[in-house]
Amino acid sequence: MTSKIKIKYTQLFINNEFIDSESGKKFPVINPATEEEIVQVSEGLKEDIDKAVKAAKEAFARGSEWRNLQPTQRAGLLNKLADLMERDAQQIGHIQTLENGKPFAHSAGETHMAAGVLRYYAGWCDKIHGQTIPTDDGSLVMTRKEPMGVAGQITPWNYPVMLFALKLGPALATGCTLVLKPAEQTPLCNLYIAALTKEAGFPAGVVNVVPGFGPTAGAALAEHPDVAKVAFTGSVAVGKSIMKASGSSNLKRVTLELGGKSPLIIFDDVDVDEAVKLAHDAIFNFSGQICIAAARTYVHSKIYDEFVEKSKKLAVKRILGDPFDPKTEQGPQVEKDMFEKVMGYIKTGDVEGATLVAGGKRHGNCGYFIQPTIFADVTDEMTIAKEEIFGPVQAILKFDKIEDVIERANKTTYGLGAGVLTKDINKALKFAQEIESGTVWVNQYASLMPQTPFGGFKQSGIGRELGAESLDYYLETKTISIKLASV
C-alpha cells in the first residue's frame, strides 16, 4: 500500500496546543486495507473533555476574541482555513485513506468539498441578524440572534473531513466555540485540520479536538453541563443516548443525523443502462458505508430481469484493492467489526431466501474487503430490506404500481434520503411529495450541496445541517422589547 505520509499529530488539541491526555493512555488507529497499526493516538477521557470544554467556555467568554469579533474577520478566518485545507488536500486525503480505506481520489475530493462548505459558512458570518416586529402595544421590539455557547460535536468515521466542516462551519459562523470528538477509527485527519485552524489564526480555545471512544469521551461531552448544544452524526442507538444525556443534564440543544435505509425507485420508462449505473454507484460508493446509500432498489417488474442481469455484470467488474491505486473503485470496510456485521447480513439474506446474484464473499485474505454483493427477489419483510447494513450489499425488489411502491418505501423507521428515476414528471413529483424523507433526488442520487438543507425524517434525525436553516441550530433568539415614551 503506497503511502509516504508521516503522521505529525497524535495528541489532543486543546487551547491551540497538542497535549497528552491526563491518563497518558493511547489507542491504536488501524489501516483497514492492511489490518496494520498506523500509529498510537492519545485517548481523551472525561477529565480531558472537561479541560477542552473549559477552554471553549473561556474562549466564548472572552467575547472580543471570538463571538463579538467583526463578522468579516470571522469569515476571513473560515476562508483562510478553507485555503489551507485546499493547500493540503493531498495530505489530508492520504491520512483519511489510511484511516478508513476510502479510495484516495475520493478522500482528496472530499477535502475540497469540505473547504467549499467552510466558504459557504464564511459567507453567512455577516448575514446573521434578527428582525424588528410590529406589536399591538406599540413597543419597539427587535430580535437578536446570539450564539448558544460551547458546541459539543461528535462525528463518525465515514466522512470525517466533510463532517468536520459540517460541524465547524455553522458553529463558527454563528460565534460558538466547540469541542469535537472524532470517531475512534479516524482521529488523524481531524487532528491535522485542527493544526490548520491554529495556522489560520483562530484564537486559542475556539476549536478543540479530543480523540477518544464513544462511551467515555463522547458520553462525557453529551453529558457536560457547560456544553450548550450537541451535534451528532452516527447511529440511531447512540443518537437516542445523546438525547437522554441532554435531558438528564442541562437540556442542551441536540441535532442528530442518524442512519437510513434509503429507497431508490426505478420506473420502466428509464434508459436501463443508465439506471443500472446510477443505482450501482448509489449503493456501492465507499463500500456502501454511506448513511444515504440507496440500500433498497425498487425496480418496475417490466424491466426487472434486465435490470438484475445488467447490475450483476457491473458488480462483478468492480475493481477492489489498494485504496491508493488510482484504478481502485472500492476499498475495504472500515474495521473488523463492521466487516463481520456485513458478512452476517449477507448470510441472513441467503438464509431468508433472497437470490444471491453477485458477490457474497470476502475479497482476498488481508484487509476488510467484501465483494460487491447483489440480492434479487428481495421482499420487504426480509432483514436485508429492513435493517441498515452499511456495506456493499444491493437489495433489488420488484414493484408494479406507484401507490404500492410509495407505501412500501415509507414502511421504515428511517427517512434520510430517497430517489426516483423516471421520465414522467407526474410520477416523479407524486413520489417526491409523498415519500417521508429529508431529501429526495429525481433522476440523480446523493448530490449534496452546501446550500441545501440535509437531515432526516422520523428516526433518521432531528434538525438540519447545511443550508441557511442549519445556522438556527447554533443560535438563540433574544427578543428585546422597548417601551417608547410619547414625545
Q: Which residues bind ligand ADP (CB under 6 A)?
A: 154-156, 181, 183-184, 213-215, 218-219, 222, 234-235, 238, 241-242
State residue 417 phi and psi, 5-degree precision. -135, 160
The least distance separating ligand ADP from the CB of residue 232, rounded to whole angstroms, comes to: 7
CA distance 308 to 396: 8
* Comparison of 151 and 396: residue with beta carbon closer to ligand ADP: 151
* Comparison of 91 and 235: residue with beta carbon closer to ligand ADP: 235
* Comparison of 178 and 219: residue with beta carbon closer to ligand ADP: 219
Which is nearest to 110 in space by CA: 180, 183, 163?
163
The least distance separating ligand ADP from the CB of residue 472, rounded to whole angstroms, comes to: 23
* Comparison of 88 and 257: residue with beta carbon closer to ligand ADP: 257
* Comparison of 218 and 367: residue with beta carbon closer to ligand ADP: 218
* Comparison of 237 and 487: residue with beta carbon closer to ligand ADP: 237
The least distance separating ligand ADP from the CB of residue 254, rounded to whole angstroms, comes to: 12
CA distance 258 to 250: 22
Residue found by looking up cell 461528535 in the block: 154
* Comparison of 3 and 262: residue with beta carbon closer to ligand ADP: 262
Region of 70 on the Ramachandran plot (φ > 0 left; ψ -120 to 50 alpha; else beta): beta
Which is nearest to 23 in space by CA: 216, 224, 154?
216
From the candidates 184, 257, 329, 335, which is the catalytic residue? 257
* Comparison of 368 and 431: residue with beta carbon closer to ligand ADP: 368
The least distance separating ligand ADP from the CB of residue 184, rounded to whole angstroms, comes to: 5
* Residue 403 annotated as catalytic: no
> CA–CA distance from 320 to each of 273, 279, 335 (Å)?
22, 18, 16
Number of residue whose CB is nearest ligand ADP: 214
The least distance separating ligand ADP from the CB of residue 241, rounded to whole angstroms, comes to: 5
The least distance separating ligand ADP from the CB of residue 214, rounded to whole angstroms, comes to: 2
The least distance separating ligand ADP from the CB of residue 416, rounded to whole angstroms, comes to: 13
> CA–CA distance from 281 to each of 289, 292, 314, 315, 329 (Å)?
12, 12, 10, 10, 10
Handedness of CA 285, 289, 292, 293 (dihedral sign): positive
The least distance separating ligand ADP from the CB of residue 239, rounded to whole angstroms, comes to: 7
C-alpha Rg value of the chain to the nearest Å: 23
Catalytic residue positions? 257
